[in-house]
Amino acid sequence: MKIAIIGLGYVGLPLSLQFARSGVSVLGLDIDPAKVEALNAGRSYIKHIASDHIAEQLRAGRFTAATDFSRVREVDAVIICVPTPLNRNREPDISYILDTGRTIAPYLRGNGAQPSPAKLVVLESTTYPGTTDEDLRAVLEQESGLKAGEGFHLAFSPEREDPGNPDSKVSIIPKVVGGYTPACLERARALYGRAIQTIVPVSSCRAAEATKLMENIFRSVNIALVNELKRVYAAMGIDIWEVIQAAKTKPFGYMAFYPGPGLGGHCIPIDPFYLTWKAREYGLQTKFIELAGEINTAMPEHVVHGVADALNARKQAINGAKILLLGLAYKPNVDDERESPSYVLMDQLKQRGAEVAYYDPHVPVIRPTREHPHWAGVKSVAWNRETISGFDLVLIATNHACVNYTELAAWAPCIVDTRNAMAGVETAPGQVWKA
């Protein structure tokens, strides 16, 4: 069997390697020639994916990468793993999905004028219910001249990647699958069953799309809850981290979530608003989702106020202060800084007159981004006493495990900790502030 996986980022590349390890011939397709060149040379551009793993599948002849989408003719199935961002108005942008559909549709017929055995097209990109069976289906049918469920099969299976988690392996994370027809579902179940241990079938593409949204809405709402409680408890002189540790000892009815300086990554800050947008078609409001978004979006400003309080206690102002932000990545132990609240923190601190730098061992230089192009090219500072002690304040935004927090306590005059990273580290009175 040969499959194509379109989009070789944080979702598509690990999925490609898992299928290849399972004996499936994988053609990785991407519009970025630099990614394709790196992969075909056996080089990884994602920190938690080892180059050796790529090189192994290349040598075995089970994986290759290309930019030529006409090669979809060669494969039995296509899995789409392209970005689904929000626009400036927090409205879904599914243009990458639709553009991909238009590109591959002419090649669903195979090499001749007559249809080849029906190919399977699976969308994995997170989106609102109805994207697969309405929007993507319409494009594929129009551009191919084939009918979904007959000339080609169509399904949705949400990605469940958890970068940086060593216990999160593609092969063991249950795979939710929904098909446009029962036959489509069976084809998708058979495909994923080659590489993934547990397949969870649902009744439709829409049910599968809704499943992914529910998972991330659940996380967004509960993170917002603890962020709000952090502020309330802080006003009462209560440490939210102590409360969470105590609450999580309850063996039932409670799941621990943790506060932070905001939300980041490609899922939690974005995915819930896909449902918010879609709900408007039905005349419905999603109040929990929108409130959670407001609370989480406001957290960077709350943290900056905490920075101001910490500096004021030392008879300093933010204006003119040298501030080091520790951790640019959106979560610990990864090199992914997409939608990271660290960018918002740096922007707000700079706007208030601070001299801002960052340290992140996983992100040595800031890559160009659409949202924060002005930070592109800025490099992480060095980790040594001379450098760190030269800052007036260190703001811990991401608690990477590889950071030596004992050294930080010895070198930094003032620390604002948003992640409870300094817990258990011996510090001077008044040196550490929680925000």
Task: Give catalytic residue positions.
Answer: 267
Residues belonging to the chain? 435
Q: What does the block give as tokens for 71?
A: 């090669």
Which residues, other chains included, contact 69 with Cβ-Cβ below 8 Å and sequence gap of 6+? 6, 29, 103, 104, 107
Q: Which run of H or of E encompasses 119?
A: strand 119-123
What whole-number distance in Å separates Cα of residue 308 and Cα of residue 414? 12
- Strand segments, DSSP code E, in 185-255 are 199-202
**Alpha carbons within 13 A on the beta-carbon side of 377:** 2
Q: Alpha-carbon dihedral of residues 246, 251, 255, 259, nearest 10 degrees?
A: 10
Q: Which run of H or of E encompasses 5?
A: strand 2-6
Sequential DSSP letters for 78-112:
EEE-----B-TTS-B--HHHHHHHHHHGGGTTTTS
Residue found under tokens 């090669």: 71
* CB-based contact 332:399 (threshold 8 Å): yes
Q: In Å, how far from its chain's centre is CA 239?
A: 29
What whole-number distance in Å separates Cα of residue 119 and Cα of residue 211? 25
Q: Within 26-73, where are the H helices?
A: 33-40, 51-59
Dihedral of alpha carbons 51, 120, 81, 400, sign: negative
What whole-number distance in Å separates Cα of residue 131 and Cα of residue 328? 33
Residue 209 CB neighbour total at 10 angstroms? 29
SS3 (DSSP) at 13: helix
Classify each residue of 347-365 as buried b or exposed e, where b means 16 or more C-beta atoms within 10 Å of its C-beta. Answer: bbbeebebebbbbbebbee
Intra-chain end-to-end CA distance of the chain, in Å = 53
